[in-house]
């Protein structure tokens, strides 16, 4: 039997990789892929604890996370397309109209 | 003690971490997307090890299928060349970001080290199947489930409104 902490460490590694991508990458598409990685790390944690506790409630939550991630990807990519159309770039540093 | 399950864990976990890191190392968005698809497949394997059969199936169907096709379509639509990624000089904030990520990782590891590793509970064979998850989903989580359908509808309409120039 694989101990639950192994799954949690794996989720922590995945989340850290995703966070690093969000913080250092400047391409909006890569940033969104990193967000997907972070959501998957959260899912893995839910499923690991669901398996440890022996309840399927965690699976229902993981199901909702997948649905929200799909919605996020659809809306986020639409925004990326809109930004590319108006600015000709997907660099997140150049999108700062609200800051100036 | 090495069991077959532990070997299977590493068979999926090591390529998962490598492909996830590959998303950041990739030179072009297409390579990053391909790495992400591979990462989703390996993660589905990890889910099967946790006997989350339905979620593993949905991981491949929704993530590796639908979401990644969406990503690839946008990459194709924007026709981003390889020169567009990683050529600009790094800013000080980005190095600070790596530092912050490492700090978060250390916090997570110290938190996980305190989780009592009581071992997995033995579960019946139906754990994580469509029937078991559906039972919970349509009784205990019925309202969130219906709200999800509304969320997806709003997301589809919102995506069309935002992405389309003229409606």
Q: For chain B, give the percent of residues with pLDDT over 70.
A: 92
Q: What is the ipTM of this complex?
A: 0.91
Are residues B108 and A57, on separate chains, in Cβ contact within 8 Å? no
**Structural domain total, chain B:** 2
Q: What is the pTM of this model?
A: 0.90
Average pLDDT of the residues in B52-70: 92
Q: Which residues of A45-69 are buried (b: 16+ CB within 10 A; e: fewer)?
A: bbbbbbbbeebbbbbbbbbbbbbeb
Say what the pLDDT of residue B102 is.
92
**One domain, residues B2 and B72:** yes
**One domain, residues B132 and B53:** no
| pLDDT band at residue A87 using 50, 70 and 90 as cut-offs | confident
Are residues A13 and B17, on separate chains, in Cβ contact within 8 Å? yes
Average pLDDT of the residues in A79-94: 85
Average pLDDT of the residues in B151-162: 93
Determine the distance in angstroms separating the CA of B27 from the nearest CA of chain A, rounded to an integer. 11
Residue B145, pLDDT above cutoff 90: yes
Asked whether residue B147 is domain-assigned, the answer is yes
A87 interfaces chain B, CB cutoff of 8 Å? no
Find the radius of gyration of the CA atoms of chain A. Answer: 17
Residue A68, pLDDT above cutoff 90: yes
Could you say which of 3.40.50.1460, 3.40.50.2300, 3.40.50.300, 1.10.287.3510 is the CATH number of the domain covering A4-88? 1.10.287.3510
> Whose structure tokens read 């989580």?
B141
Structural domain of B72: 1-88
CATH code assigned at B78: 1.20.120.1200
Q: Are A41 and A11 in contact (CB under 8 A)?
A: yes
Say what the pLDDT of residue A74 is.
93
Determine the distance in angstroms separating the CA of B85 from the nearest CA of chain A, rounded to an integer. 7
Say what the pLDDT of residue B85 is.
53
The overall average pLDDT reported for chain A is 90
Q: What's the distance, CA A37 to chain centroid?
A: 4
């Amino acid at each position: 039997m694989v101990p639950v902490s192994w799954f949690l460490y794996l989720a922590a590694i995945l989340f850290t990789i995703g966070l690093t991508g969000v913080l250092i990458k400047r391409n909006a598409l890569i940033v969104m892929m990193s967000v997907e990685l972070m959501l998957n790390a959260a899912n893995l944690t839910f499923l690991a604890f669901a398996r440890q506790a022996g309840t399927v409630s965690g699976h229902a939550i993981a199901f909702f996370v997948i649905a929200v991630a799909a919605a996020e990807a659809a809306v986020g990519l639409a925004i990326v397309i809109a930004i590319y159309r108006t600015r000709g770039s997907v660099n997140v540093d150049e999108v700062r109209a609200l800051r100036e | 003690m090495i069991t077959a399950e532990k070997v299977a864990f590493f068979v999926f976990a090591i390529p998962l971490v490598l492909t996830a890191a590959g998303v950041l190392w990739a030179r072009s968005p297409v390579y990053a997307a391909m790495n992400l698809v591979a990462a989703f497949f390996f993660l589905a394997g990890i889910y099967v090890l946790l006997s989350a059969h339905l979620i593993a199936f949905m991981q491949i169907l929704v993530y590796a299928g639908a979401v990644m096709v969406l990503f690839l379509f946008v990459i194709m639509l924007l026709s981003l060349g390889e020169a567009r990624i990683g050529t600009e000089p790094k800013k000080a904030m980005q190095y600070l970001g790596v530092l912050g990520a490492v700090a978060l990782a250390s916090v997570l590891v110290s938190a996980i080290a305190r989780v009592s590793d009581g071992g997995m509970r033995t579960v019946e064979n139906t754990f994580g199947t469509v029937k078991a998850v559906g039972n919970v989903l349509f009784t205990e989580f019925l309202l969130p489930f219906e709200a999800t359908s509304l969320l997806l509808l709003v997301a589809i309409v919102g995506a069309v409104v935002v992405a389309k120039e003229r409606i």
